[in-house]
Amino acid sequence: MLFSRISRIRSTGSNGCRWFLSHKPHLQFLNPPAYSYSSTHKEQNDPFSLVADELSMVANRLRLMVVTEVPKLASAAEYFFKMGVEGKRFRPTVLLLMATAMNISILEPSLRGPGDALTKELRARQQRIAEITEMIHVASLLHDDVLDDADTRRGIGSLNFVMGNKQLAVLAGDFLLSRACVALASLKNTEVVSLLAKVVEHLVTGETMQMTTTCEQRCSMEYYMQKTYYKTASLISNSCKAIALLGGQTAEVAMLAYEYGKNLGLAYQLIDDVLDFTGTSASLGKGSLSDIRHGIITAPILFAMEEFPQLREVVDRGFDDPANVDLALDYLGKSRGIQRARELAKKHANIAAEAIDSLPESNDEDVRKSRRALLDLTERVITRTK
Amino acid sequence: MLFSRISRIRSTGSNGCRWFLSHKPHLQFLNPPAYSYSSTHKVLGCRENFSWGLPALHGFRHNIHHQSSSLVEEQNDPFSLVADELSMVANRLRLMVVTEVPKLASAAEYFFKMGVEGKRFRPTVLLLMATAMNISILEPSLRGPGDALTKELRARQQRIAEITEMIHVASLLHDDVLDDADTRRGIGSLNFVMGNKQLAVLAGDFLLSRACVALASLKNTEVVSLLAKVVEHLVTGETMQMTTTCEQRCSMEYYMQKTYYKTASLISNSCKAIALLGGQTAEVAMLAYEYGKNLGLAYQLIDDVLDFTGTSASLGKGSLSDIRHGIITAPILFAMEEFPQLREVVDRGFDDPANVDLALDYLGKSRGIQRARELAKKHANIAAEAIDSLPESNDEDVRKSRRALLDLTERVITRTK
């Protein structure tokens, strides 16, 4: 099952609900400028290089946590490792950048020695948020994947377990959640506990919303955005907020961090929806079409339905029949669905950028660099082509 | 699936790992002694209707009182001491799991039916504990009935009871998926669009997240840590049970450790949390912890015995659910110490009923059952000692609650189902 999810993802642009490179080997879109940019971008603008070392630490800590505790899971841990930590550098990157971006230090820079204990401890706590966030994310992926017997046979050969794959998925997810709980408790900040507990509830709610939609709901943009918030944006927005709270920021600043995360997440998902139709080209139907084939109706189609009510009947018929898919693509192509989805993404990306610009001024070079990196990300999420 | 669990439990004494009436309609064991008499069947019959609603429960309890022997005074019934509070806890629990998502709401409703009503035992212990150590911060004479501070503390302690139940049910929901036993039975009643397993997993996560939010609202980081640890223990215990080697399966030490994780940790740490919220010293908090832990272990050990004996004293009359599921419990582990040959039988597994009979044979020849009972008694005594070690109090409510807690340590080991 775990293995099967990886195969499924790699052959699709998106599974319609997962965010930020959830074990997608598509990290590259956000990698050094050589990938898709002109030479005007200098390397120090690479958001990832700013936090690369810290990310390794986070990755290692995560790996140790999973591997050493539960012997049976050690084999599965390799999958966690492949599909989890390495693939998910994006989310922790945002969080670590955010941590620096708002380090309006409690001490004057001149008084702040390099080994400053207070600063180090704060940083460690913020890294903990990054770990917790990943654990919650992977746990939710594992639990979302609990399918009936028929589907769990895929990929079993590689794992060689006594337990069924779905049981392993449930147990592994529980393990990660319990570790997240303990790690959260260790921060001794009940507001942060509350924030991230709420995220778990949102993830469950979002997944349940996706699994149990009525026809009415499936065709509602409002329902879709709500579901997208729950499944995708809540985690990153609330963990950004947690970073701020741990850093002793005011409620206003914490809200700015939250708004950044939320809008970045929404922008990402919307582009994800578009790319599932277009792939790397600008034309329709070149993408993996994974969403529509799984019956997941995303923003471009929802927009198209506003222009072409007939599309609604097509959607209601479902997409088991490939002919129906083609019909839908036809309408989509005639509509401004793709463009409007892109425009909405841009709008959210801009809101995210504004949030960064609204942060209290700082003269600290690290702070300014991190903020530039965060702004950079708001551009990259919408200009990416895969 | 949820429904199937209930059916499975009804026909078995224990599922080998669940504790304290985890939706077992066997609450009655702790009711006035009259239960083990002829009135038993009538009561059981009422239970079978699945009218798990509060009114039904109250009605059935009144029946018991009607028929109870005159030897038992009503005020000795541990449950009656906290009955009203329990209703409040039950109602709040129901409200706490309300959600905008219909399917989750359905699962929560099942949680409510199978959970709250059936689980009065655990919250009962916690509420009794709360009173038992209410060495009030104010002098009784100064303490008015509407004392805000006292009320707030009580509300917080009730919150622990709610959180404990949510964590417990969340773990049950996941265990059902993990056990993967008989998950098809009773599916008709649930009528979910999704597979039951998927919903069970999501619903469990949902309850856990609500529990965490409720925990956070207490704004006590030590209590948060305690109950986060419990969540970890529950997972560890389940992992231990699912992934044992032959060596581990035959180890009493491993078994007791797993039993602590799966069964006793929740009640012991929530008892401790009750104490901490009440501003008790570390020593008193530890006494509360010891009570919960030993009560839990005693309960589980008797549960193991009853799975073999049922309501009779003879072997093989119980549901034999544990052994049939390959779960090796205390009586067998003790028997293996006397009869090493039993080890080979165990290693062969129990898919073959003939092997079950063979194991029962050895068990009967051994002192396995007796030793398990003795160990249960030992733990029950430790629990009682913990209560006796609490700081003296002249408050009548406090004394009553402590007597009730002592009462429970007897009932867990004398029960016959």
Distance from CA of A122 to the nearest CA of B (A): 18
pLDDT of residue A136: 92
Out of B193, B201, B212, name the one closest to residue A146 (CB): B201
Q: What is the pLDDT of residues A162-186, one digit of tens each?
A: 456 677 778 888 888 988 999 999 9
Q: What is the pLDDT of residues B11-26, one digit of tens each?
A: 333 333 344 433 333 3
Is B201 in the A-facing interface, judged by CB distances under 8 Å?
yes
Q: Where residue A21 falls among pLDDT bands split at 50, 70, 90?
A: very low
CA B21 to chain centroid? 5
Is A71 in the B-facing interface, judged by CB distances under 8 Å?
yes
Q: Where residue B78 falls among pLDDT bands split at 50, 70, 90?
A: confident
Question: What's the rounded mean pLDDT across residues B38-58?
Answer: 36
pTM score > 0.90 for this model? Answer: no
pLDDT of residue A156: 30
Is A200 in the B-facing interface, judged by CB distances under 8 Å?
yes
Rg (CA), chain A: 21
Distances (CA, A) of B28 to A372, A376, B42, B55: 67, 65, 12, 16
What residues of chain B lie within 8 A of the CB of A71, using their CB? Answer: 243
ipTM of the complex: 0.80
Say whether B328 sits in a helix, a strand or coil: coil
Out of B174, B206, B215, name the one closest to residue A204 (CB): B206
Distances (CA, A) of A47 to A30, A110, B113: 8, 26, 52
| Amino acid of residue B273 | A
Q: Which of residues 235-294 of B touch A (CB under 8 A)?
A: 235-236, 238-239, 242-243
pLDDT of residue A70: 56
Contact B206 A211 (CB under 8 A): no
Residue B354 token pair: 């003939």
Using DSSP, how many helices (H) and how many strands (E) does chain A show? 19, 0
Q: What is the pLDDT of residues B356-395, one digit of tens each?
A: 999 999 999 999 999 999 999 999 999 999 999 999 999 9
> Which residue, among A17, A149, A161, A174, would best test binding to B if mutated, counting the most B CBs under 10 Å from its CB?
A174
Out of B215, B234, B238, name the one closest to residue A193 (CB): B215
Contact A182 B234 (CB under 8 A): no
Out of B99, B205, B224, name the one closest to residue A143 (CB): B205
Is A164 in the B-facing interface, judged by CB distances under 8 Å?
yes
Is B382 in the A-facing interface, judged by CB distances under 8 Å?
no
Question: What's the rounded mean pLDDT across residues A89-106?
Answer: 84
Alpha helices per DSSP H over A187-336: 190-211, 215-218, 221-228, 234-246, 251-278, 290-293, 299-307, 310-317, 322-334
Question: What's the rounded mean pLDDT across residues B210-239?
Answer: 93
Residue of B296, B325, B322, B298 whose CA lies nearest to B309: B322
| Amino acid of residue A17 | C
Contact A190 B218 (CB under 8 A): yes
Which is more confident, A64 or A79? A64
What residues of chain A lie within 8 A of the CB of B231, using their CB? Answer: 177-178, 181-182
Q: What is the pLDDT of residues B395-407, one digit of tens each?
A: 999 999 999 999 9
